[in-house]
Amino acid sequence: MTTTLEDCRALDAQDPLRALRDQFTLPDGVIYLDGNSLGVLPKAAPARIAEVVAKEWGEGLIRSWNTASWFDLPQRLGDKVARLVGAAPGEVVCTDSTSVNLYKVLFAALSQQKNSGRKLVVSERSNFPTDLYIAESLCRERGFTLQLIEADELPGALTDEVAVLMLTHVNYRTGAMHDMKAITAAAHEAGALAVWDLAHSAGAVPVALNEAEADYAIGCGYKYLNGGPGAPAFAWVHTRHAGRFEQPLSGWWGHAAPFEFTPHYRPAPGVARYLCGTQPIVSLSALECGLDTVLAAEPFDGERGGMGALRAKSLALTDLFIALVEERCAGHGLSLVTPREHARRGSQVCLSRDEGAYAIVQALIARNVIGDFRAGDAQMPDILRFGFTPLYLGFEDVWNSVEQLVQVLETGEWRRPEFNRKNAVT
């Protein structure tokens, strides 16, 4: 049965989460399918940022560390992230970038394994490059070897030489999602620790870090958490390691008593030791506005964090997009890269095409449908990537985005030279 525009409007009319879109400022006419790369602006953020700057900084000055609770911000926001990733209060901090946090947690995991005789760190060849670059240099420095595998080589690759399995839960290029619980169990069975990157999971799919018994996790603040460009990221450590793990960037903010100003480092108990230096208060304040937009789904769910309700809508949106592309773009050379199976799909849909993937994305952007492009290589095709954020996208948006894609393909307008010139940031 084919789906019509009226069907999509009916789905929007029945959507209990529809009003959540009012939390955001989106330019008129734009269909934003790139919330997996940079989330949109929460309406509350400009006023909150102005308040932090003008009142807390401008008037409160240094007193605001206490009077405006600046000092606790990384933990307070961490508790909000915890609701979204199946962690407990006090287990997460918001700080630094994803790359830097990965350095810290991977260092901690490697330190734990340094007397195990195990020398391998296993990751996926298709992992996000910064994760591989950080792992490469840490392995070199700490005497480990990074072994890159394909997803289907798991769990066979988990030999007794593996110290750490480091994976990204939802693949940034394909949208494929790992079974965190099963893979973590397999890693533990093999004697390895499991480090998870949740950059494309936090705020996008339900995550249950404690239930999965994961060891370490990090994630990104500016994607599905809507924290703004370069927002602080987060780090989590399982309580069985808390109080024991080593943090390589032993700055004063991770000290047990920073304001005692003692000459020797004594790590704070628990995850607070992942803080390094003075925190970016303005950026953290913006991130809090983003986190609140996601947590606004909690009342629609009944479950802590509200990710169940968001997930149900996200799957309905991605199912609809896949169905409409297959119905309406048939014969135009597009292939589906993202898994159809719900349990294996994140909150994005990726398509590939032998020719013109970049230019098609550019032509869509010119038509106000903003997705992005990820270059392929010898093993992987070029990808057109569309992220679906149920907080601010509706079913009619899905219809309209496919309608624009149909027109770009049928007119061949993507062949125009202006759509084939590469920008610095794709």
Ligand X SMILES: *Cc1c(COP(=O)(O)O)cnc(C)c1O
Shortest Å, Cβ 75 to ligand X: 21
Are 232 and 284 within 8 A, CB to CB? yes
| The only residue of 3, 111, 116, 130 in contact with ligand X, by rule CB under 6 A | 130
For ligand X, give the closer residue by CB, 38 or 369.
38
Burial 249-275 (b: 16+ CB within 10 A, else e): beebbbbeebeeeeeeeebbebbbbbb
Q: Does the protein bind ligand X through residue 224 (CB under 6 A)?
A: no
For ligand X, give the closer residue by CB, 108 or 204.
204
Short-list 105, 109, 136, CA closest to 123: 136
Q: What is the full DSSP assignment across 11-49? A: HHHH-TTGGGGGGEE--TT-EE--TTTSPPEETHHHHHH
Q: Does the protein bind ligand X through residue 220 (CB under 6 A)?
A: yes
Q: Does the protein bind ligand X through residue 245 (CB under 6 A)?
A: no
Q: Does the protein bind ligand X through residue 200 (CB under 6 A)?
A: yes
Shortest Å, Cβ 218 to ligand X: 8
Shortest Å, Cβ 231 to ligand X: 9
Concerning whether 128 is annotated as a catalytic residue, the answer is yes
Q: Does the protein bind ligand X through residue 111 (CB under 6 A)?
A: no
Residue 17 in tokens: 């989460």
Concerning whether 114 is annotated as a catalytic residue, the answer is no
For residues 204, 206, 209, 212, the Cα torsion angle rounded to the nearest 10 degrees is -130
The site that binds ligand X (CB under 6 A) totals a number of residues, namely 12
Helices (H), 190-334: 209-212, 281-295, 307-328
Count CB neighbours of 293 within 10 A. Answer: 27
Concerning whether 223 is annotated as a catalytic residue, the answer is yes
What is the rounded CA–CA span in Å between residue 200 and residue 219?
Answer: 8
Q: Does the protein bind ligand X through residue 197 (CB under 6 A)?
A: yes
Catalytic residue among 24, 128, 144, 373: 128
| The only residue of 23, 75, 95, 98 in contact with ligand X, by rule CB under 6 A | 98
Short-list 267, 236, 275, 225, CA closest to 71: 275
Are 273 and 243 within 8 A, CB to CB? no
Shortest Å, Cβ 221 to ligand X: 8
Q: Does the protein bind ligand X through residue 131 (CB under 6 A)?
A: yes
What is the rounded CA–CA span in Å between residue 218 and residue 271?
Answer: 12
What is the rounded CA–CA span in Å between residue 170 and residue 33?
Answer: 17
Catalytic residue among 79, 197, 372, 382: 197
Residue 237 main-chain phi, psi, to 5 deg: -135, 140
Residue 147 main-chain phi, psi, to 5 deg: -110, 120
Residues 13-72 that bind ligand X (CB under 6 A): none
Q: Does the protein bind ligand X through residue 128 (CB under 6 A)?
A: yes
Concerning whether 197 is annotated as a catalytic residue, the answer is yes
For ligand X, give the closer residue by CB, 99 or 210.
99
Shortest Å, Cβ 131 to ligand X: 5
For ligand X, give the closer residue by CB, 16 or 230.
230
Shortest Å, Cβ 200 to ligand X: 5
Catalytic residue among 21, 83, 173, 223: 223
* Contacts (Cβ under 8 Å, ≥6 apart) of 50: none
What is the rounded CA–CA span in Å between residue 227 and residue 290?
Answer: 5
For ligand X, give the closer residue by CB, 92 or 220.
220
Do strands 335-336 and 233-237 pair parallel, antiparallel, or not at all (unpaired)?
A: unpaired
Residue 204 main-chain phi, psi, to 5 deg: -115, -40
Per-residue interface string for the shown chain with ligand X, residues 339-378, x marking contact by CB under 6 A: ----------------------------------------
Half-sphere exposure of 149 (CA within 13 A, CB side): 20
For ligand X, give the closer residue by CB, 178 or 200.
200
Q: Does the protein bind ligand X through residue 125 (CB under 6 A)?
A: no
Count CB neighbours of 64 within 10 A. Answer: 18
Stretch that binds ligand X, among 65-73, 128-136, 307-315, 325-333 (CB under 6 A): 128-136
Shortest Å, Cβ 303 to ligand X: 25
Stretch that binds ligand X, among 184-192, 194-202, 302-310, 340-348 (CB under 6 A): 194-202
Residues 157-186 that bind ligand X (CB under 6 A): 168, 172
Shortest Å, Cβ 257 to ligand X: 29
For ligand X, give the closer residue by CB, 199 or 268.
199
Half-sphere exposure of 417 (CA within 13 A, CB side): 0
- Catalytically active residues, by annotation: 128, 197, 222-223, 385
Which residues bind to ligand X, rule: CB under 6 A?
Answer: 97-99, 128, 130-131, 168, 172, 197, 199-200, 220
